[in-house]
Amino acid sequence: MRRKFLRRSGLLLAALLLLLFGGLLVGRVRLAGLPALRSGPPVEVTLQVAGQPVRVIAVQTGTVSIKGCHHDGCLPEWAPYPLRFAAILADPSLGARMPIWSYVIVHPEGVHVVDAGATPSYNDDSSWAPERVTGQLVRSFIRLDVTAEEALPGRLLALGIGPAEVRAIVLTHQHIDHTGAVASFPEADIWTTGAEEDAARSIGAAPWRWREPTTRIRRVDEEGGARDGLPWKGVALTSDGRLEALHTPGHTPGSVTVRLRADQGELWFVGDTSFRAVDVSPEAATAGIHTDVSAVRALQTWLRARPPPRAFLPAHDERVPETLVDAGS
In tens, the pLDDT along 7-54 reads 454 545 444 443 444 444 334 334 434 444 567 899 999 999 999 999
CA-wise closest residue to 71 among 42, 93, 45: 93
Whether residue 313 is predicted with pLDDT greater than 60 in this model: the reply is yes
Task: Say what the pLDDT of residue 17 is.
Answer: 46
Q: What angle do CA 311, 316, 321 make, to 5 degrees?
A: 50
Task: Say what the pLDDT of residue 25 is.
Answer: 36
For 141-175, how does the pLDDT look when each residue is reduced to its tens digit (9 = 90+)? 999 999 999 999 999 999 999 999 999 999 999 99
Q: Is 112 helix (H, G, I), strand (E, B) or coil?
A: strand
For residues 8, 10, 16 and 17, what is the CA-based torsion angle, rounded to 10 degrees? -170
Average pLDDT over residues 271-283: 96
Give the mean pLDDT of the chain.
Answer: 90
Helix (H) or strand (E) holding 88: helix 81-90
The percent of residues above 70 in pLDDT, for the chain, comes to 88
pTM: 0.90
Q: What are the structural domain ranges in the chain?
A: 2-327
| Positions of E strands within 183-255 | 189-192, 216-219, 225-226, 233-236, 243-247
Average pLDDT over residues 219-244: 96
| Homologous superfamily, domain 2-327 | Ribonuclease Z/Hydroxyacylglutathione hydrolase-like (3.60.15.10)
Task: Say what the pLDDT of residue 37 is.
Answer: 54
